[in-house]
Structure 1
Amino acid sequence: MDVDALLAQRVHALRKARGLTLEQLAQASGVSRSMISLIERQETSPTAAVLNKLADALGVSLPTLFAADAPPAGEGPVSRRADQSVWTDPASGYERRHLSPVGVGSPIELVEVGFPAGATVVFDNPVRSAGIHQQVWVLKGRMDITVDGQAWRLAAGDCLAMRLGHRIAFHNPGTQPARYLLALSSTPDLPRRTA
């Protein structure tokens, strides 16, 4: 299935499953009702920032929007490269490949990202509806990642752990494309002990 068609189907299905109208999802996400309608009718290709807002309002991780509802017949817990969904952000040109097998019930999702030289993507989510932890492992190139005002420069082999819920900016400061692996987990936090 075409990725834009998959996104249209997933946003619509998740919205309906949660009993939300277009207006209610617009209010919860900060994305206009008309934009959501265009996405669901496959009349526009949304940016990563827009998809992130919708995923948050729907209570799922961003990679979940790119996952089909059922694995290909006979594949089971294997995600074949030829069957993995690949999407390119129309605003930045970054390419995201959903690696994890679909329908296995794992709390971990893996995503491979190709990030163009000089590109920047900013995710603004002051409050996340789902507790998601993320690790970024740079495979090639360099990435500047800023989480809630704190910045790190990562080179190939470096890994950054963070919890989603703050403003996060990804920037490739280099002259060559970067590539990194995202590992996301929606495992609930353990209660903190008090002294």
Structure 2
Amino acid sequence: MKETEAPPSLNDRIAQRVRELRAARGLSLDALATHCGVSRSMISLIERGESSPTAVLLEKLATGLGVSLASLFDEPAPVADPVARAADQLQWRDPHSGYLRRNVSPGGFSSPIQVVEVLFPPKARVAYETAARESVVHQQVWVLDGVIEITLGEEHHRLATGDCLAMVLDRPMSYYNPSRKTTRYAVVIATGLSFSAR
């Protein structure tokens, strides 16, 4: 009886994506460490799939690699199918805050837009320290159920069910769920697009 090979773990997929992105940019471990503020040893552990990195750590890596956080979860090779079936959509839980993110967009499909669904636990908080990026990243947060407080630089926004916040990821930001129930929201990310000022 032939044994079937187990699918790669999520940490393995992240490891492969970080390795590929770093190689594509011609960055050494030391160069990436300097660029994103993550230690060389931690990046090495992540690239070997031997670490369960937090969302904050992955955001630093993504910024240093010039990509969105969501793209670190993409399929290693582009897919031809433009449909992402619900059963195949990748889910990842942040080991620090416990928030659960699901990449809704087809992984690896060539598009400047990515859609992510997030379930954010009561009283949870995540603070991203990264600021301006090499390429402009536009993001919108649409609250599907519950409430979320988002701080972007000096701006503070409290969003309830149905509210949507548009932003450019160019300042440190944080998410906080002040309620006693899980908040569900969608994040739409657009990279590599230029928008004229109105």
Normalising by the smaller structure, the TM-score range is: over 0.9
SS of residue paired to 1:10: helix
2:93 corresponds, among 77, 83, 88, to 88
RMSD of equivalent CA atoms: 1.5
Matched, 1:79 2:81: no
1:51 corresponds, among 51, 58, 77, to 58
- 4+ residue runs of structure 1 moved beyond 2 angstroms? 69-72, 187-193
Aligned to 1:151: 156
Aligned to 2:75: 68
Residues 68 and 137 of structure 2 are in contact (CA less than 8 Å); yes or no, is this contact kept in structure 1?
yes
Residues 61 and 130 of structure 1 are in contact (CA less than 8 Å); yes or no, is this contact kept in structure 2?
no
> Which residue type is aligned with residue 66 of structure 2?
G
* Percent identity for Structure 1 against Structure 2: 50
> Which residue type is aligned with residue 56 of structure 1?
T
Gaps of 5+ in 1: none
Q: How far apart, CA to CA, are the structure 2 residues paired with 1:13 and 1:189?
A: 26
Aligned to 2:26: 19
1:31 corresponds, among 38, 41, 45, to 38
Aligned to 2:169: 164
Residues 56 and 130 of structure 1 are in contact (CA less than 8 Å); yes or no, is this contact kept in structure 2?
no
Q: How far apart, CA to CA, are the structure 2 residues paired with 1:165 and 1:125?
A: 8
For residues 1-45 of structure 1, what are the alpha-carbon distances to aligned partners after superposition, in whole Å with 9 as ceiling and x for unaligned? Answer: 321111111111111121111100000000000110111111111
Aligned to 1:174: 179
